[in-house]
Structure 1
Amino acid sequence: MSNLYTELKNEWSKHAPNLAHCSHLLDGFKLELVRSNFGTIQVASSSKQKDQLIKSREMLEIAVEHSITIRDYAAFERYMAQLNTYYYDYDKYLESSKHMHKFMGLNLLYMLATNRIADFHIELERLPSALLLHDNFINPVLALENYYMEGRYNKILQAKKSMPSEIYSNFMDMLVNTAREEIASCMEKSYLKMAPKQAAQRLGLRPGSKELLDLATRRRWDLDDEGNFDYAALHTRPLEKVPAKDIATHNLTYAQELEKIV
């Protein structure tokens, strides 16, 4: 475990770490966790046991950041669940990690970005109220949740540049995309048409950018003769054909069956 810890920490501390090598080291780390009966809470009575737990916790923190960097969000969930064991279950035996609040805020942001609002609030219940109000990593995420629930999506777009850590950027991109889709839905329902420049401004995008064109294509925003996005066609529903004959036949058959019963 000590050799893995040293090698992984040295590699991850580089300006441009070798991600493939880090993945290989983390595979070895997972085997070590299995051999050490991870998940079985035991009192860390000796300094050696405490040292091993601290090293495992630090390696899991690296694993979380690595999974975000390679955009493996399933791995992020697994590593974060394991890391929470050290934060919550081993808190009586270990000093708190100096990065704990950063990863707690990161986990909350992930739940918000993936629209897992119920899980978001369950996780909040585990945190002290003082931490929610004053922590520099968690409080900004709570503000984002308020913006999202109140429909103040423009605030989410503006908040992207003020996140407390660079590692939050991937999940902020996910949340911003979700907010843009909500803004686009509101635009479709509120207007019959809109100039592309105005639409780009409301969506927080540059006029003519690839992101704007991709969104317009995905949502079927066609341009009218004046060069505006035409939302009118989105407001009209196609007429649904009612199977009147089938319904009448079914009702008559039902009535005949009732007469037989009576």
Structure 2
Amino acid sequence: MSSQLPNLHKELIRAFTSHPSDLAATGKLLARLKIVLIDTDLLFPQPSSNPKELVVARDILEIGAFWSIRTRDVPSFDRYFSQLQTFYNDFNSVLPPSEREYPIRGLNLIRLLIQNRIADFHTTLESLPLPADELLNNPFIKHPVNLERWLMEGSYSKVWNAREEAPAEEYKFFVDSLMGTIRNEIASCEEAAYESLPLKDAATLLFFKTQSELLAFAKQRDWQVNLTQETITFTHKSEEKMEIPKDKLIANNLAYARELEQIV
């Protein structure tokens, strides 16, 4: 093991686990440690690698995966997850289990949902080294599985509420990204089904808690807002809406959202 590795690893843990995490210091330490891992042949481990050193390397990469989410760097998360696959899949019989493995696997599943890679989601889910009956007992896997089912059902309210049920703080970032995709899909349906909507109804449908959030979104979509009449008028780019019978779907979703508000 490199003489630098133990001390840099300890510094990394201190920076990452401080309250709040020192993300800038963590990033700098990760960059230094990846060079050390390359120099010691631990970034791409071999069968002859020392298991104790591999545990340290795996821990560094796992911290890197979580750091990527906290800094909202999805491509960086992709790279760390790819590097961790060798540790999780090829050395699982050599290394002790990692408590971070399934939180990270679950994050990867949600990432696939955000990217609309549904086939990859199911392939990845089926390849997990867990018996089928244990998958849904694992909170980190159950969460993305539920998200995928609710997305397919169009139960967007459940997706929204799932943010508060996230099994780890990092999951909330991906759920927020997922809601951004959902909002744009709902907005497209609104534009196709209606000429205008009351501000309150539009905010309810789009899961906005404040009017300022709705107004910022409306500006992005080039919607016309009348604050006096408290309405939004949608900009229709074509007459395609006449061919898409989405008004009933929107009405049903709106009624459901109102019912939820009354229950709460």
Matched, 1:182 2:185: yes
Determine the C-alpha separation between the residues in 2 that align with 1:177 and 1:91.
36
Contact 1:188 1:234 (C-alpha < 8 Å) held by counterparts: no
The SS at the match of 1:137 is helix
**Structure with greater Cα Rg:** 1
Determine the C-alpha separation between the residues in 2 that align with 1:103 and 1:207.
32
Determine the C-alpha separation between the residues in 2 that align with 1:20 and 1:230.
44
Contact 1:156 1:179 (C-alpha < 8 Å) held by counterparts: no
16, 21, 28: which one aligns with 1:24: 28
Letter in 1 for 2:126: E
Match of 1:33 in 2: 37
Determine the C-alpha separation between the residues in 1 that align with 2:40 and 2:235.
63
Matched, 1:42 2:43: no
Match of 2:91 in 1: 90
Letter in 2 for 1:62: I
Matched, 1:81 2:82: yes
Match of 2:13 in 1: 9
Match of 2:203 in 1: 200
Shift in Å, 1:226: 4.3
If the length of structure 2 is used for normalisation, what is the TM-score? 0.81
Q: Residues 2 and 207 of structure 1: is their aligned pair in 2 closer, same or farther, counting only changes over 3 Å? A: closer
Shift in Å, 1:125: 2.3
CA RMSD of aligned residues (A): 2.0
Determine the C-alpha separation between the residues in 2 that align with 1:93 and 1:200.
52
Shift in Å, 1:207: 4.5
Q: Residues 103 and 41 of structure 1: is their aligned pair in 2 closer, same or farther, counting only changes over 3 Å? A: same
210, 218, 226: which one aligns with 1:216: 218
146, 161, 164: which one aligns with 2:164: 161
Determine the C-alpha separation between the residues in 1 that align with 2:229 and 2:21.
51
Matched, 1:65 2:70: no
Determine the C-alpha separation between the residues in 2 that align with 1:232 and 1:5.
54
Describe the superposition over 1:84-117 as per-residue Cα deviations: whole angstroms up to 9, x where unpaired.
Answer: 2211111010111012111111111112123232
Q: Residues 32 and 202 of structure 1: is their aligned pair in 2 closer, same or farther, counting only changes over 3 Å? A: same
Describe the superposition over 1:111-156 as per-residue Cα deviations: whole angstroms up to 9, x where unpaired.
Answer: 2123232332221121132342221111111110111122222221
218, 225, 231: which one aligns with 2:234: 231
1:109-148 superposed matches below 5 A: 109-127=110-128, 128=130, 129-148=132-151
Letter in 1 for 2:46: I
Determine the C-alpha separation between the residues in 1 that align with 2:238 and 2:196.
11
Q: Which runs of 4+ in 1 moved over 6 A?
A: none
Q: Residues 57 and 228 of structure 1: is their aligned pair in 2 closer, same or farther, counting only changes over 3 Å? A: same
Q: Residues 99 and 232 of structure 1: is their aligned pair in 2 closer, same or farther, counting only changes over 3 Å? A: closer
Letter in 1 for 2:92: D
Q: Residues 21 and 231 of structure 1: is their aligned pair in 2 closer, same or farther, counting only changes over 3 Å? A: closer
The SS at the match of 1:39 is coil
Determine the C-alpha separation between the residues in 2 that align with 1:98 and 1:232.
50
Describe the superposition over 1:175-204 as per-residue Cα deviations: whole angstroms up to 9, x where unpaired.
Answer: 111111112122222223210111101111
Describe the superposition over 1:1-21 as per-residue Cα deviations: whole angstroms up to 9, x where unpaired.
Answer: 212111111221211233222
Between Structure 1 and Structure 2, how many residues are aligned? 232
If the length of structure 1 is used for normalisation, what is the TM-score? 0.81
Q: Which moved more, 1:217-226 or 1:127-136?
A: 217-226
Determine the C-alpha separation between the residues in 2 that align with 1:174 and 1:85.
28
Determine the C-alpha separation between the residues in 1 that align with 2:92 and 2:10.
24
